[in-house]
Structure formats: C-alpha cells, structure tokens
A and B are shown apart, each in its own frame.
Chain A
Amino acid sequence: MRRRHMLSLSLSLALGTALALGAGTAKAQEFILVQSTTSTQNSGLFDHILPLFQAETGIEVRVVAVGTGQAIKNAENGDGDVLFVHAKAAEEKFVAEGHGVSRADVMYNDFVIVGPANDPAGVAGMNDVTAALAKLAGAEAPFASRGDDSGTHKAELRLWKAAGIDVQAASGGWYRETGSGMGATLNTGTGMGAYILTDRATWIAFGNKGDYQIAVEGDERLFNQYGIILVNPERHPHVKAEAGQAFIDWVLSGDGQAAIAGYLVDGQQLFFPNAEG
C-alpha cells in the first residue's frame, strides 16, 4: 500500500506544481481570444492593427491562427471569444446553428494563381479564372492545393467545380493536396514547380518566392470576403461578450477600417475594408 501512496503523492505534487508554474503568467490585463486564419496572421495585418486597438481600449487581443475549418471548430467548442475568418457559407452556418451571435463583413482581399516564370501551362496573363483552371487541367500541370478545409481551400474547390473539373480524380497525380497552411503550401508548391491558388496578402508578404510570379488575377470570382462573429455567450457563458463586442465594433468602425486600409507591404495595400458603415 505504501507504494501506491507514494505514487499518488508524487502525482498530486506534480499536478499542483504544474498549476503553480503556469499561474505566473496570468496577467491582470483584460484580454480576448480571437480564432482567426493564417492569411491574416502571416500577412502581418494583426501585428499592424492590434496594437492600435489595444492602445485605444487597453484590451489585449490574443490570436490563434489556424485554417478557417479548424478556427470554426475551435469556436464551436467555445475556445475563443471572436471568430474572424473568410468562408462566408461556413460562417453563416455557424451563426444559424447558434454558435455565433451575428456576422458582419469586415474587408476583402483577392485570390491569385501564382506559377513559375516559364509558365509551362501557358496561363500567364489570363483573367478568366475558370478558363485558366481548365487549361491547367488540360495540360496536367502540377497544382498544389491547401487540402485542409480552410477558407482558401473551399474557395479553390468552388472554382474547380465552376470550371467543371473533378480534381479528386487527379488527386496524387498533377493535383497535389498538401494538407497544410498557406505558407507551407507555397513552400511546397514552389519547390515542385506547381501552380498555386493563394490569397494576395500572403503572397505579397511571402519571403520565399523564388522565380514565381502571379499568373492569373483580376476575376471577380477571386474575391475573398472576411467576416467577424462574436461567439454566442448564451451557449458558452465564459465568452467575454463585452470585450469581444468592443473589438468587433472597433474593427467595423471608421478607425478600425482605416487601420486595415493603412496596412501596406512594399507599398501595396493588402486588405480592402468594406464594412457596412
């Protein structure tokens, strides 16, 4: 019996220590948790706008940046106060199922298709995205897909469908699903000479472009709308509704919208605010 006693003693000691060691980090400052996407984080937008919001309100914003699919799942579990993603249909479903209070448009950017400079499929300069995709499929040019149920992945699948191409049949052939974030997919795709659909923001900020260039852009079907939702405090009572709503109100306000428009990389604006004033 002594042995068991000793084991339970060390177990409880361990648990207590874990709590004590972690507790040192709890800040007195108020903070909210935002479930968001890799595109907003990797492009540097949050690093630009969050300090402005914190300076104004004193509320710290902690961002968990994952794919839209995972962000929505996490928010459904109540692990976050605000959801800030880009997959309108999935967001509306999230609200309709009672996980979120309401959804508002925040801003948009657009998708582009990037490819190697020598353009093996001959799509450079096209601005009809479905025609370009059909041409890529016809040439069986390698194409790197996110394959991770993210907002970008969903948009890509919609476009393939519109082009009338069944990419699942080519999966593992010329159509390659990386199952990872935008940046990781760009690294993988440029490494194997594949065409890649990416949001413009991540592309401009991406540091490992090699000889890649934008091949297809300008089609309005490449429009990428971001929305913001407060996680429903009635379903998840610990949600910081007041602070979360303050963040949403600020993002949608003139100040917040101006902060988004003012974020430039290499002199280019990445996100275009379009909240209903």
Chain B
Amino acid sequence: MFSFGDMMAEALGLILAWDRELSAIVVLSLRVTLSAVALACLIGLPLGALIGAFRFPGRGAASVALNALMGLPPVVVGLFVYLMLSASGPLGVLQLLYTPTAMIIAQTILVTPIIAALTKQVVEDLHGEYAEQFASFGVSARARVVALLWDARYSLLTVALAGFGRAVAEVGAVLIVGGNINHVTRVMTTTIALETSKGNLQLALALGVILLGLAVVVNAGVMALRASAVRAAYA
C-alpha cells in the first residue's frame, strides 16, 4: 500500500536529483513538440485564415472537416504515420520511422487541424469588422490574409498554445512512430508510460510534475511576451 503524500514527496526528491539523462529527454520533448507546433502554425494559420476570410463552394464542409479533425485520436495518427513511413509503406525509402522526424510529422498532423480550426474562428470574427474596408480599398486576397493574421496575432498566440498543450501531452502517436528508443526517441510522455509499466510510480509521477512545469514555463513565457508587446504597441 502507498500513501499519496509519501509518493509525492519521493517524486519531488527525484526531481531534485535531476541528471543529464533527464535533461536529454526534456530537451527532445521540447524540440519535437515546438517543431511540430511551428510547422502546424505554418500550415494551419494561412489555411484557417483562408477558410475564415473567404467564401467559396465547399467552405462549410471544410469547416466541419477541420473541426472534426480536432478530435483525431493520437494513436490513429501514429498508426497512419507508421503505415506511411514503414519500410513496406509508400514513404519507406525515406527511412524516417523511429526517428524524431517521424515524431514531428505525427504531431504536426495532430496539431494542424486545431490551429487551423481555431484560426478560422478568430479570423472569421475579425473579418466581419474589416470586410467593408477591404472591399472599399480593393485589398488583394494575399494582403487581406496577412492583415487579418497580423491584427489577430495576440489571439493566435493562444491558438498556438492550445496546439502546444495537445502535442506536449500526447503519448499515443510518438510511441508508435518513435518506438520509445532509449537516447534516440524517448520523450517525457513515453518515459512516463514506460516507468508506469515498470511499476516505478514515483519516477513516473516526478516526470509528470516536470512536464506540467514545462507547460507552465512555456505558457508564462508566451503570456509575458504578449503583455510586453501589447504595452509596446500602446505606449
């Protein structure tokens, strides 16, 4: 039998005994997730803005599809990417399976619909206010997208954070395409799953606390950035 208090205390002790191996896992987690979120923004922001700002046939269907894809189960994404990148799959020649690149691809697929769907909503609302001005000045399509994305940038930071939260916490996709290989593709969440299955619950809990701390640091950093940018803008 265990007491939750004792276990938490042991977990904190383990966090204090931080070693280089743990640093490498944390760094890889951040590298994979931040890369995936950056890529997802690169695809999702313009995609969401296009759907949010323009009327075209099939727009409703595209919105529904994006919203539905927000609920993609990570395991399914992992399986899909595995089948693509497997040596027997269509992209097998690239030899990307069981590498961090494969994990970045899987998380990008997971996060892009979230970024795109939320961007679409933000841009659509903003476009309602700007539409007449755009029309009267005859602003080009590209300039419209750029202007809308720029003026919505603070809201879009929160959109990116939502994507980060999803990616940093998921285990299903990276476990399948990364393989949880020690020193190569082992990240925070796959380590937590592994240590739990080994019955090392204190260590798993400690890693969970670190993961949470990481999310707090990233969120606080972005919020601070946003606050100082807003101050500068209105100074």
A binding-site residues for B, Cβ under 8 Å: 2-3, 6-7, 10-11, 13-14, 17-19, 21-23, 25-26, 33, 38, 42, 47, 62-65, 74, 77-79, 180-184, 186-187, 205-211, 236, 238
Contacts and interface: CB of A to CB of B under 8 A. Distances in A.
Contacts of A180: 197
B86 interface: yes
A78 B86 contact: yes
Interface string B111-155: 000000000000000000000000000001110010000000000
Nearest to B88: A77
11 contacts: A3-B142, A7-B47, A17-B35, A18-B105, A21-B101, A25-B99, A38-B197, A77-B86, A208-B201, A210-B1, A211-B1
Contact of A65 (B42, B96, B180): B180
Contacts of B142: 2-3, 6
A10 to B, nearest CB: 5
A32 to B, nearest CB: 11
Contacts of A19: 101
Interface in B180-201: 180-182, 184, 194, 196-201
Interface string B69-104: 000000000000000001111001001111111101
Contacts of B43: 10-11, 14
Given A14-B39, A18-B35, A238-B95, A77 B196 contact: no
A79 B87 contact: yes
Contact of A7 (B46, B92, B96, B198): B46
B179 interface: yes
Contacts of B92: 78
A184 B86 CA distance: 27
Contacts of A238: 87, 95
A207 B98 contact: no
Interface SS of chain A: helix
Contacts of B47: 7, 10
A26 B96 CA distance: 10
Interface string B10-52: 0000000000000000000001000100110011001100100
A42 B198 contact: yes
Contacts of A181: 197
A5 to B, nearest CB: 9
Contacts of A10: 42-43, 46-47
A47 B194 CA distance: 14
A95 B107 CA distance: 35
Nearest to B34: A21
Contacts of A17: 35, 38-39, 42
A78 B87 contact: yes
A182 B194 CA distance: 11
**Which 9 pairs between the two chains have the least Cβ-Cβ distance?**
A22-B101, A183-B197, A208-B199, A78-B87, A207-B199, A64-B179, A77-B88, A206-B199, A21-B35
A22 B96 contact: yes
B63 to A, nearest CB: 16
Given A79-B87, A183-B198, A22 B99 contact: yes
